[in-house]
Amino acid sequence: MPGSFLRSDAVAQTTIRLLHLALLYAILCYLGVEVALTLRDLRENDSSSLQATFEPRALSSPAGQIPFLGVTVALEQYNTPHDRQQALNRLRGAGFGWVRQRVDWGRIEPQPGEFQWAWTDQVLTEIAAAGLVPVILLDGSPAWARDSVDRPPSAPSENDMPWRLAPPAAPETFARFAAAFARRYQDAVRFYQIWDEPNIAPHWGNRLIDPVGYARLLRAAAVAVRDADPDAVILAAALAPTQDRGHTAVDEGFFLQRLYAAGAAPYFDAVLVQPFGFGTAPEDPRSRVDALNFRRAAWVRRVMVAAGDAQTPIWAVRFGWNRQVQDHWKTVSAADQLRLTEEAIRYAQAHWPWLAAMGWPEDRPAAPPPDPMWGFSLIAPDGKEHALLSVFAATAQATTETEPSPTRDLLFLRLAFLLLASGFLLLWAALTARTLPLRRWQALYRTWPLSGKLAVWALLLTVYYLAVWPPLILLCWLAAALLIAAEPVSGLMIAAAALPFHFQHKELRLVGPIWAVPPAQAALLATLPALAQHAIHARVWRIKSKLSAAYPVRQTSVAVRNAHRADLLVAAWIVISLLAAGNVWHWPGYFVGLWEIVVVPTLLYIGIRLLAAEPRQQRTVLTALFAGGALTAGFGGIDWLLGGGVSADGVRRLMGITFSPNQTALYLLRTLLVGVGLLAAGGLRRPPLTASCILVAAALLLTASRGALLLGLPAATLVTAVAAAKQERLRLGKRSAVLLTLVAGLTIVVGLEIVLLYSERLLNLETLRSRTLIWRDALALWVQYPLFGAGPGGFYWNFPAFLQPSPAANPSLLHPHSVWLEYATGWGVAGLLWLSALLFWLVSVLRRPLLGPQAWYRIGLLAAIGAALAHAQVDAFAALPELAAWNFAALALLATPHGTNE
């Protein structure tokens, strides 16, 4: 009774229980943070993720055949051979075994084929005379070899170093120089470093940082050097420590991962890092992307081991602490510099057998004394030796035994305690929640008018939109789960409408890593409790009995068989995606792809199948699916009217809420045809539906997507005609004629608009040529993994290795711009068989006669899928998260009956 619910004692008890739950929630959040911190500490202290199958310092590793300690020098600053020899002898006496000297290509080959070897001849002779091993950094470029974007605007600026650090326009020119150098000095030089710090500006010229571009340069140079000097050891460029992952700086881990994706691993014998201390001690245990410290070398090592490259050693080619007051490297005292340097060397010798060499940043900078590099100098500006030299002399001969650390055992105990406590509190919270009148509240909520429900959702979504604190975000999810449990279809509606807003995600910072949760995924996560409750009680015979009650008994077997085949398709999709794991090397990319392309679409499919079994519920979900696309068109149209978009072939193309007009068109094409189906089905909302369809059609036209307009719309017209012909035993009715007239008229109008407005774009065949090159390279990727492909998300992490150089080559593609190659490269022959089964199922649905106005929902969906498949001949079909989820939503809606004939 409502009266009993409002009694003061009941209110007091409920309030106490809610406060109890709030306290438990706060404690659980704290314990969750502690668990995350402990897991991170365990990962950073996991020595098994650092070890190789053998010690790279052993003679079996070419890059390990070098003295452990070295230093970077700038011998060009000395005016006489005597001064250079004296400096080299001093370094040898201090215990250094190798010196790294930069050789500027632009100085050696100022004109093509004209080499000036006099200086390098003399310097390499002097290094050998001092008993030191030369490590030669081949870097820089002459003006004649650079691209036009990397040349100074005027001749006097040519001597500016940023311009000289740009890579050549053609890697082959640098390779020829490197080969000439190797041929001349193969008896004096064994270690060749190819370029320096290509992961930060300005070391990659006046352009975006491009790991795959550096991989091409490295490949060309490595092949040329090894041909000229078979004994050469190729060192990858020393990567600068940075936390960024943008256009002008890319962290070492991601840069390395992209090098592996480009197939560069065979072309280097060691990875070079620069783990400066940045003011923290070597004992600082942080080893992750957002920590700039000495242990950063261990984080890079984990990236290499995770990529399957445990056998390649690392050189800490520059490490150390700076004693000069500045901000870049942070500042320590001279005494601390001595202590920290010695501790770092001893720690590396004791704990990092995969570290083949350590190098001090600078002997004596070729710069004025105010330069921060003097904070590393082994020589004072007045010529006096710094005490650092004695540190290297003492540690050069020292040996340190590895000591086991009890840290991991303590961390495991801590983790076990935290998990036990969290489990106990979760059970306590669940038991407390069961004492709340949740069912009564949900029943009361279901009786509210629509305006009241919308007000509650508006308040919750506003709080969620503004929330940045993870506990508050999680609390919003819990509140949404309670509301969705009362009306499960509402969760499906929000998820369907939010699909195109994939990039408008909510970021949860979980102790370092950031979990980006798109709104559709958040809605599905909040729907999971309701879905689990229905799944537990769902049985095949219960679904069949519901169908029998809603539709004629003679047609129930057809509906169940249709749904059963769709369920098998979804199950097979999961299986082939798991089988593709055997070809995976980059597991984070695979898991992201598995979640976005497989798990999320499957959850949406199951949700619609279980929670939207009635025709009214299915129409609600379908309307939400259309509304999300229409909202996308609205945002895109406003942006276009305000001057947004991107220009191509003389046309300003609508881009919308994505980063590509083509990606927007892929979704709007589906949306338009779903809207046409809803409009043809009739109902009380025809005026707003008509306006929305016009808005979507206009936005689609403004995208100027040739695939959507020239392939998608004609295919949709054909599918609509075939499906409509099946109505009422091939007799077209009034509604069919109206719909066909509408679709045909729309196609004709759009065709005329294309000819009038986009003639320049239509005549430009450059995109088609670039597509053929992409297909050629994608076919090579499929040949590499023929049976099960590279897996979901694997195209991005494998395609660069098969990318042939061309002006239009794009190593950042997410898919091969062909539905057939999309499934072939991602899932191999198994994927092509799955796609064939999907097409067969769709044709069987298309061939079945349809009756009643609700059949137009299905016709709209079939037309949308047909248009999507036609468009996907030159673009994506399921490679993008929003498209994959849309496809499975359509599959679920087609798998369940819409009309009375099912």
Packed helices 470-486 and 438-446: angle between N→C axes, nearest 10 degrees: 70
**What pLDDT does residue 235 have?**
98
Euclidean distance between CA atoms 657 and 501, whole angstroms: 7
Q: Which of 115-119, 384-388, 412-416 has maximum average pLDDT?
A: 115-119
Q: Is the pLDDT of residue 159 over 70?
A: no
Q: Is the pLDDT of residue 542 over 70?
A: no
User: CA quadruple 323, 326, 328, 332: dihedral positive or negative?
Assistant: positive
Percent of the chain predicted with pLDDT > 90: 61
Q: Which of 412-421, 528-537, 717-726, 825-834 has maximum average pLDDT?
A: 825-834
Which of 59-63, 269-273, 321-325, 876-880 is predicted least confidently?
59-63
SS3 at position 647: strand
Q: Which amino acid would we find at residue 495? A: A
Percent of the chain predicted with pLDDT > 70: 87
> Any idea which fold 47-148+160-397 has?
TIM Barrel (3.20.20)
Non-local CB neighbours of 772 within 8 Å, separated by 6+ positions: none
| pTM for this entry | 0.89
Domain locations in the chain? 47-148+160-397, 437-537, 543-895
Q: What is the DSSP string of 310-339?
A: TTS-EEE-S-B---SS-SSS----HHHHHH
Binned at pLDDT 50, 70 and 90, residue 897 comes out as low
Q: Is the pLDDT of residue 96 over 70?
A: yes
Q: Is the pLDDT of residue 361 over 80?
A: yes
Q: What average pLDDT does this structure show over 449-474?
A: 93
Euclidean distance between CA atoms 205 and 874, whole angstroms: 33
pLDDT single digits (tens) 756-815: 555 555 566 677 788 899 999 999 999 999 999 999 999 999 999 999 987 778 899 999
**803, 811 Cβ separation under 8 angstroms:** yes
**What pLDDT does residue 815 have?**
95
Alpha-carbon distances of 499 from 158, 441, 634, rounded to whole Å: 51, 30, 15
Of 72 and 729, more confident: 72
Non-local CB neighbours of 360 within 8 Å, separated by 6+ positions: 69, 70, 71, 72, 96, 318, 319, 320, 376, 378, 388, 392
Pick from 326, 359, 330: nearest CA to 344? 359
Euclidean distance between CA atoms 783 and 242, whole angstroms: 37
pLDDT single digits (tens) 623-666: 999 999 999 999 999 999 999 988 887 788 999 899 899 999 99
Q: What average pLDDT does this structure show over 501-514?
A: 84
User: CA quadruple 716, 717, 721, 727: dihedral positive or negative?
Assistant: positive
Q: What average pLDDT does this structure show over 590-616?
A: 94
Q: What average pLDDT does this structure show over 232-246?
A: 96
**What pLDDT does residue 435 have?**
82
Q: CB-hemisphere CA count at 13 Å for 766?
A: 9
Q: Is the pLDDT of residue 541 over 70?
A: no
Q: What average pLDDT does this structure show over 61-70?
A: 90
Cis ω for the linkage preceding 202 (within 30 of 0): yes
Average confidence score pLDDT of the chain = 87
Euclidean distance between CA atoms 300 and 260, whole angstroms: 13
Non-local CB neighbours of 513 within 8 Å, separated by 6+ positions: none
Q: What average pLDDT does this structure show over 155-173?
A: 78
DSSP classification of residue 143: G
Binned at pLDDT 50, 70 and 90, residue 156 comes out as very low
Q: Which amino acid would we find at residue 421? A: A
**What pLDDT does residue 54 have?**
47
Of 631 and 724, more confident: 631
Q: What average pLDDT does this structure show over 274-286?
A: 94
141-143-144 Cα angle (round to 5): 105
Phi-psi region of 279 (alpha: psi -120 to 50; beta: other; left: phi over 0): left
Euclidean distance between CA atoms 682 and 667, whole angstroms: 23
